[in-house]
Amino acid sequence: MPFSLEGKTALVTGAGRGIGRAIATRLATEGAGVMVNDLDDAALCETRCTLRNAGHHVERLVGDLVQPSFPNQLIEATLSAFGSVDIVVNNAGYSWDNVIQKTTDEQFQAMLEIHLMVPFRILRAASTYIREAAKKEIAAGKRVMRKVVNITSIAGTDGNAGQAGYSSGKAGVIGLTKTMAKEWGRYNVNVNAVGFGLIETRLAQPLTSGQSEIEMKGHKIQIGVQQSMLDSIKKACPLGRLGTPDEAAGAVLFFCSPLSDYVTGEVLICGGGFHF
């Protein structure tokens, strides 16, 4: 069944690279105007330039989502640039792992902030526009479906050793998803979540002596996965491999499309059949 997202505006967080960039690309390719956000200005510029060069309408707003006032700024910027907010993909996130006895309060709280507080604040910021627009449409006898896709993980559904904070944040967003599906159903909003397994991004790259680091809150955080763990995951995965960012984006695209107009409050696992 063909579909188009022409006339729709999508907001994608964490769109500077990896899965977020792939999601923004899929939505733009289907015709949506896209507002992209990331903390990394250079990566975000690359996303926007690539999509604009392909003829798509894309705007960007760099900024730190965990700053309490920024989600409001992001929604206001989206409305100013496009005039609507029809699709929200809460994708931004990172991992900061350790076993519980070595996990600080700051570390645990950081995971809750980015994975749970940020989606909450973005949806709260968008609520005024969404409710008012829906009321006008319903009064006019129109059904206009809007979409929210929150990103969770098999660490949130199954738990994962060494990820108390990350798993808790990703589990919490499932509760937020199911609650917002109940609150916003009357406004014709589908609210769903996609839970990823291991996807080929920099967070899942082999951990070596030259591994990458990200700097968050003044801390340098090593990113990557031990090669032995990657090998065991591939062996245990029914599909025998990690997923690609484009495959991850495909699962999100389903929830952003008219194909999911009667699906809400659900969690779709995109993990190749693997579970921790």
Q: What is the pLDDT along the chain (276 residues), one digit of tens a residue?
A: 589 999 999 999 999 999 999 999 999 999 999 999 999 999 999 999 999 999 999 999 999 999 999 999 999 999 999 999 999 999 999 999 999 999 999 999 999 999 999 999 999 999 999 999 999 999 999 999 999 999 999 999 999 999 999 999 999 999 999 999 999 999 999 999 999 999 998 777 777 645 577 777 777 787 777 788 788 889 999 999 999 999 999 999 999 999 999 999 999 999 999 988
Give CA torsion, residues 252, 254, 257, 261, to 10 deg: -120
Residue 1 counted as domain residue: no
Residue 47 counted as domain residue: yes
Name the token pair of 184. 């916003």
Tell me if 229 sits within 8 A of 223, measured CB to CB: no
Residue 123 counted as domain residue: yes
Residue 225 counted as domain residue: no
Q: How many domains does the chain have?
A: 1
Among residues 60, 89, 187, the alpha carbon closest in space to that of 129 is found at: 187
DSSP-derived pairing of the beta strands 219-222 and 213-216: antiparallel
Print the domain residue range for 139.
Answer: 9-201+243-270
Burial class (CB in 10 A: 0-12, 13-18, 19+), 79: middle
Residue 37 counted as domain residue: yes
Summarize pLDDT for 110-167 with one digit per residue, the tens. Answer: 999 999 999 999 999 999 999 999 999 999 999 999 999 999 999 999 999 999 999 9
Residue 84 counted as domain residue: yes
Q: Which of 94, 129, 166, 262 is the catalytic position? A: 166
Place of tokens 């599906």: 181
Residue 236 counted as domain residue: no
- Residue 129 falls in the annotated catalytic set: no
Residue 3 counted as domain residue: no
- Which domain CATH number covers 93? 3.40.50.720
